[in-house]
Amino acid sequence: MLLAIDAGNTNIVFGIHDGNSWIQEWRFETVPIKNQIEYELFLRLNFLEANLKLEDVNRIVISSVVPQLNDILSEFTKPLIDKEPVFVGPKIYGDLPISTQNPHEIGTDLIANAMAGHVLYKEDIVIVDFGTALTFTVVEKSGKIKGVNIAPGLKTAIVALVGNTAQLPEVPLELPDSVIGTNTTTAIQNGVLWGYVSMVEGMLDRIQAELNKEVKVVATGGLSSILHPLHDRFDQVNRHLTLEGLRFIHKAIIK
């Protein structure tokens, strides 16, 4: 089994692939940073509840955009297998069928998205990832990452608005039917959520206009389902796209 770890700014996602499909996915809050023992205990308890055996894990791949976690994740996984985990980073990019002009600047999660997009679709593609940040990764058919656009994610935007403004309540991430807010809650929901619908639509229109050609659009990320009016703009929604990219990266490195 493959254990894929995707450490983001909000959650650490642990995915288990049995050779055919992703059979388990667990999320652990990134902050506060835990110690090595706590991560191992979390993993062992989830394996026990899922009736899985840790000794069946024979491959590990790790992506982290949180530098403080890198050593912890690397060390706590080493006892699980007798091989070094594959750690996604600039050192291995030369062995991948994708390329980027800025290997030390681009997030490893975006590299994983690009890898999955290239391997699965083999055409010009825009990957829209709804996570802590909202990202648009443009990948050419050749595998070259043409560029990335980054905006605050949905939760990030709402937390920033509520946290820095007096008398505004916390609101659920639910898209109102009407685009005109009639109370404080729907006013915030409309401003952020319908605003993001318009932003994604506008960004995709501008990207395609600049490229001067049609491109495949794939969405991923845990919050991709919230903005359901956008689904007509997506050729596919693949919630496991980042994990798939990590799996393909591991396969490319460990032949």
Domains (ranges, CATH) in the chain?
Answer: 2-87 (3.30.420.40), 123-245 (3.30.420.40)
The pLDDT assigned to 34 comes to 87
Catalytic residue among 109, 124, 232, 235: 109
Catalytic residue check, 124? no
**DSSP letter at 168?**
P
Among 70, 67, 66, CA closest to 78: 70
Q: What is the mean pLDDT of each run of 10 residues along the chain (255 residues)?
A: 94 95 94 87 94 93 94 86 89 96 95 98 96 95 97 88 67 90 91 94 97 94 86 93 98 90
Rounded to two decimals, the pTM is 0.93
The pLDDT assigned to 161 comes to 81
The pLDDT assigned to 4 comes to 97
The pLDDT assigned to 165 comes to 60
Q: How far apart are CA 227 and CA 155, in angstroms?
A: 13
Contact assessment for residue 132 and residue 89, using Cβ atoms and an 8 Å cutoff: no
The pLDDT assigned to 76 comes to 85
Q: Which long-range contacts (CB under 8 A, 24 or more apart) does 140-147 make?
A: 143/96, 143/97, 143/98, 143/99, 143/114, 143/118, 144/98, 144/99, 144/100, 145/98, 145/99, 145/100, 145/101, 145/106, 145/110, 145/111, 145/114
The pLDDT assigned to 167 comes to 60
